[in-house]
Amino acid sequence: MTKNVLLLPGDGIGPEVIAEAVKVLDHLRESYGLDIDTQYADIGGIAYENHGMPYPPETHKKAVAADAILLGAVGGPQWEALDYDLRPERGLLSIRAELDLYANLRPAVTFEELAGASSLKHELVAGLDIMIVRELTGGIYFGEPRGHQTLDDGERQSYNTMVYSESEIERIMHNAFQIAEKRNKRVCSVDKANVLQVSELWREVAIRVSAEYPSVSLSHMYVDNAVMQLIREPKQFDVIVTGNLFGDILSDAAAMLTGSIGMLPSASLDANGKGMYEPVHGSAPDIAGKNIANPIATILSAAMMLRYTLGFSEYADKIENAVKKVLAEGIGTGDLKAIVKTQVTTQEMGDSIVKTIV
Ligand code: NAD
């Protein structure tokens, strides 16, 4: 059955990078029979301009109806003075909350040719392929009570609550184990069970869920050690599963192992595997409209969408292999100029990937 993909180009370089992902998807449709339909909607600053709000009901309706969503980026200086609820970034938070996209997937993959762009030694990162699965809608960022108070002696105090219920832990664990089944079959659950009660429950549930996935091995690591190990020997990891706060920090650290921000895809999934896929980078207003942005993060996000939500892994492989080959030929956008032989525009990068797909 034809799958419906909603495209949300957004602001800044968003429309430019989405156009290249669409070029790749269209090619797969026309030449290889990929069975998807696409439609567009507004989100972010452009939605504010056209509809007076960053996540309009029309967009929500289409998002609910779609099988998967591919987003460019939102934001820009022209909207920074707006009220909080009207700002472009609010559109992003709204769609994640409305669709209950609680599982954030952030792969950290080093392409051989780009290993030199990492801040770590080549041999530590060459061949790196980690998937960080971060719980996105719970934990300390949302826990209650939270706030500020003034104590009797006049001193001010602030507090947040790290809280996870069993069902929240269970569902993110299922995501992690199911992803590991499709990869190297190892899950490392990161917590702080030596000092946090919430981590004790996290660990207990991880062990319980792991029994349902006999082909996948489970290990545990305290978050402080996990940060050290990511820098010391990152290739020891396959899938890392962790809560919102620890995942926020670990996924950015892992991203930096791989080089440019223009290369990093991500996904946010709901309980049924429906998801929104987007590059990790923002709308890059400094380079918008110049045809120089790197579209690979968005093209790889489209590949993730095909693999993880739409069940078209063979097409995802085609895209990922083409990206690898193009980079191996020394072709890259300006952000990679220190390591590529031939510098190309955003559109030329999309064309090169399309031409290389087999
Ligand atoms: P940014 O990621 O947009 O840009 C940071 C730097 O990386 C810039 O120098 C930019 O030119 C460069 N860069 C980013 N993507 C690139 C690409 N594909 N190719 C080449 N270079 C690239 O972050 P920022 O400057 O902090 O934020 C700009 C705007 O984006 C803000 O309005 C912010 O709120 C928004 N933002 C949106 C998202 C999102 O939509 N998911 C994420 C982060 C920031």
Domains and CATH numbers, the chain: 1-102+271-358 (3.40.718.10), 110-269 (3.40.718.10)
Pairing type for strands 217-222 and 265-269 reads unpaired
Please, how many CA atoms are within 13 Å of residue 161, restricted to the half-sphere of its CB? 9
- Element containing residue 241 per DSSP (H, E): strand 239-242
Q: Which two tokens stand for residue 337?
A: 């100029």
Of 26, 129, 252, 351, which one is the catalytic site residue? 252
Q: Kindly report, residue by residue over 288-320, the tens digit of the pLDDT.
A: 999 999 999 999 999 999 999 999 999 999 999
Print burial letters for 314-331: b (CB count within 10 Å at least 16), e (below 16). Answer: ebbebbbebbebbbeeeb
Give the predicted TM-score (pTM) of the model: 0.89
At 214 the three-state DSSP class reads coil
Q: Which residues surround ligand 1 with Cβ inside 6 Å?
A: 13, 73-76, 89, 92, 261-262, 278, 281-287, 293-294, 297, 335
User: What's at 153, amino acid-wise?
Assistant: D
Q: What is the Å distance from ligand 1's center to 280 Cα?
A: 8
Cα separation, 58 vs 70, in Å, equals: 16
Q: Kindly report, residue by residue over 247-269, the tens digit of the pLDDT.
A: 999 988 888 888 778 999 999 99
Cβ contact 316:303 at 8 Å: yes
**Residue 239's beta-bridge partner residues?**
131, 187
Q: Kindly report, residue by residue over 147-183, the tens digit of the pLDDT.
A: 999 999 999 999 999 999 999 999 999 999 999 998 9
What DSSP state is assigned to residue 247?
H
- Residue 92's pLDDT band (cuts 50, 70, 90): very high
